[in-house]
Amino acid sequence: MSDLMFKAVSAIHVWIYRATGGKRGGTMGGNGILLLTTTGRKSGEARTVPVMSFEDGGDRLVVASKGGSPSHPAWFLNLEKNPDVTVQVGSDVYRAKAVITEPAERDRLYRKVVGEMPQFGGYEKKTTRVIPVVRLVKA
């Protein structure tokens, strides 16, 4: 899928999710989708993307897999520069701090993610980069 098409599909997904409070577009393959709003590292503008999420210890987790692409997704690069994000889960919207997990915790969490969604194991095999796991800690 081209970047332009991906952006268009994401924009439609975000609109539907917001319009329905997550009742539509809130799950994929049985797992939850959240809306993650970061600050663009170049533009300084708010950027919202739908991202599959997982839970751990009361926190939400997101995985910067980009389907096993050799590069990180733009939303990850944005939160690396500015970890203050907004999260929407269903109709619940809150501020959070994005914490990129350290290697040992990342490995534990990635195994947990693969246990819930095996395709993430395939993403890891497709790339030479370490796929980051990000903890979204409610502010």
CA 5 to CA 107: how far, in whole Å?
Answer: 32
In terms of pTM, does the model score above 0.85? Answer: yes
The continuous run of DSSP H or E covering 98 comes out as strand 92-100
Q: Write the single-letter amino acid at 24.
A: R
Which tokens in the block code for residue 28? 């994929």
Q: What residues does 96 pair with on adjacent strands?
A: 85, 138
3-state secondary structure 50-95: EEEEEEECCEEEEECCHHHCCCCCHHHHHHHHCCEEEEEECCEEEE
What SS3 class is residue 111?
helix
Residue whose tokens read 């969490």: 109
CA 25 to CA 4: how far, in whole Å?
Answer: 20
Chunked into runs of 10 residues, the chain (139 residues) has average pLDDT values of 74 83 76 93 95 94 96 96 97 96 98 95 96 97
